[in-house]
Amino acid sequence: MDVSAPLSLVTDDAFREIFQSMSEGILMVDESGKIVIANPIGEQIFGYDKNELTGVMLENLLPERFRGRHVNFRKGFNEHPEPRRMGFGRDLTALRKNGVEFPVEISLSYTKVQGKLLVMAFISDISQRKKAEDALKRSEEQLIIYAAELEKKVQSRTEALHKTIQKLENEVTERKRAEEEARGALEKERELNELKTKFVSIASHEFRTPLSAVLSSASLINQYNERGEKDKVDKHVQRIKSSVNHLTSILNDFLSLGKLEEGVIDINKDSLKLRDFIDSIREEMSPLLKQGQQLAVEFDSETEIYSDARILRNILFNLISNASKYSPEQKTILLKFEKRNGAFILSVQDEGIGIPEEDQKHLFDRFFRASNSGNVQGTGLGLNIVKRYAELLGGIITFQSNSGKGSIFTVTVPI
Ligand code: ADP
């Protein structure tokens, strides 16, 4: 093989120096694809001895699978030679003498010597760089996996934390609720005790008058009986009755209040013929009215309602006895019953002493008595009870009153 011409290329000392000492491998290849000369690095890269590459077909330095394609590529280059990088953007693989493949980077150039094309390939073994790149890629991938795992961990920890917080919050709420319940129970207990204490003091005060009235009437009845004074006997029998009624109503109020406080009142709704209901109220209340007082009733006798008769009776009982107590003798008490828009409206109107305006806002407070109640007996409990009964039925109580002229109390309950 004639290598003198290409070698003559490198006869120039400076050029030889460069050729020999280049850190890249240089292969010079003729048009047929035979290696004309390789510099020491080129030989070293491919694992060949000195001058051993000279005359070797370039394709021998490629893995077999690329060789066919490379021949075409080489021909194409020979037809339009121009300096450029080879395989830009993709990995190039070369083959060492010992059969080991390795990654390379190649730039191509050419020259013409005595009219013949001589292709120069500048080759770098990029195994180390590739390794480093791969390692970097792997560690990047690892990093991404770690990051994802970390994110997952953070997420699951956050969830666990949320759960713990939620649990704690629930516990706190539960504890607060229990505390409130206990406090409520305690408060109720305290109120009940207060009520009992007040009851004892009111009872001892309120009971004294009717009891002594009963006692004196009883002994007077004895005397009038002996003397045959029937009118006076009747009067004292009446006095005894009303005293007993008053005592009963006080006891009833306390009983109702106790039950309301304990929340043990059941609501038993049933259909109710208004006429029967009113008749029984009239019958029960009329004997308790003052001399000459009478009950006037306005209602539609065909009306039927669906409600709790016992609670309605207690409401009416209280309102009618107030109307009687706080009105003079001979006055009429007007009861009105009406069914309107899905509600039952009852009102009790009197022509009594009325309620002073400044007292009106306290009227439903427990133990409250208006400033004009004077020596009319009472405990200040009735209206509080009536209000709570009305509310128990899902209703309300209102009133209008003019001091000295009378009052009207209205209860509206859904039916
Ligand atoms: P009491 O046992 O004192 O009658 P209530 O709770 O029934 O208790 O009534 C509270 C106060 O409201 C009464 O003390 C009285 O001053 C006033 N009151 C209630 N009803 C009437 C009424 N129809 N006319 C005038 N004042 C009334």
Going from the Cα of 251 to the center of ligand 1, the distance in angstroms, rounded, reads: 17
pTM exceeds cut of 0.75: no
Q: What is the pLDDT of residues 18-60, one digit of tens each?
A: 888 888 999 999 999 999 999 999 999 999 999 999 999 999 9
Distance CA 324, CA 284 (A): 14
Each residue's pLDDT tens digit, 155-202: 999 999 999 999 999 999 999 999 999 999 898 888 878 877 777 777
- Rounded distance from Cα 250 to ligand 1 centre (Å): 13
Give residue for tokens 């006055």.
331
Is residue 195 within 8 Å of 261, Cβ to Cβ? yes
Which atom, in ligand 1's list, is nearest to the CA of 371?
16
CA of 300 to the centre of ligand 1 (A): 29
According to CATH, the superfamily of the domain at 4-149 is PAS domain (3.30.450.20)
In angstroms, the CA 50 to CA 40 distance is: 7
C-alpha atoms less than 13 angstroms from C-alpha of 150 in its C-beta half-sphere: 6
Only one residue has tokens 């005790």, namely: 193
For 55, phi and psi rounded to 5 degrees? 90, -10
pLDDT at 1: 41
For ligand 1, atom 13, name the residue with the nearest CA. 369
Closest-lying ligand 1 atom to the alpha carbon of residue 370: 16
Fold observed for domain 156-262:
Helix Hairpins (1.10.287)
Tell me the C-alpha distance between 92 and 61, whole Å: 12
Nearest CA to ligand 1 atom 17: 370
Nearest residue to 411 via CA among 327, 356, 336, 333: 336
Type of residue numbered 193: N
Residue closest via CA to ligand 1's atom 4 equals 378
pLDDT in tens, 241-283: 878 877 887 888 877 877 887 777 888 999 999 999 999 999 9
Q: How far is CA 324 from CA 1, 54, 145, 199, 206, in A?
A: 146, 138, 90, 24, 18
Residue to mutate (ligand 1; options 260, 317, 320, 326; most atoms within 8 A of CB): 326
Pairing of strands 406-414, 396-402: antiparallel
Percent of all residues in the chain with a pLDDT value above 90, rounded to a whole number: 64
Instruction: Give pLDDT tens digits for 57-101.
Output: 999 999 999 999 999 999 999 999 999 888 776 789 999 999 999
Q: CA 191, 192, 196: angle at the middle one, nearest 5?
A: 115
CATH number, span 270-414: 3.30.565.10
Selected residue with higher pLDDT from 19 and 383? 383
Averaged confidence pLDDT in the chain: 89
Domain ranges of the chain: 4-149, 156-262, 270-414
Contact between 281 and 248 (Cβ < 8 Å): no
Cα separation, 397 vs 410, whole angstroms: 6
- Ligand 1 atom nearest to 383, measured from its CA: 6
Q: Pocket of ligand 1, candidates 207, 369, 386, 400: which has the most ligand atoms within 8 Å of its Cβ, to mutate? A: 369
Report the C-alpha gap between 321 and 409 in whole angstroms.
12
pLDDT at 89 (0 to 100): 67
Distance of CA 332 to the CA centre of its chain: 57
Q: Which residues line ligand 1 (CB under 6 A)?
A: 322-323, 326, 350, 352-355, 363, 368-370, 373, 378-384, 407
Find, among 30, 28, 27, the residue nearest to 46 by Cα. 27
Atom 8 (ligand 1) nearest CA: 380
CA angle, 148 then 149 then 153, to 5°? 120
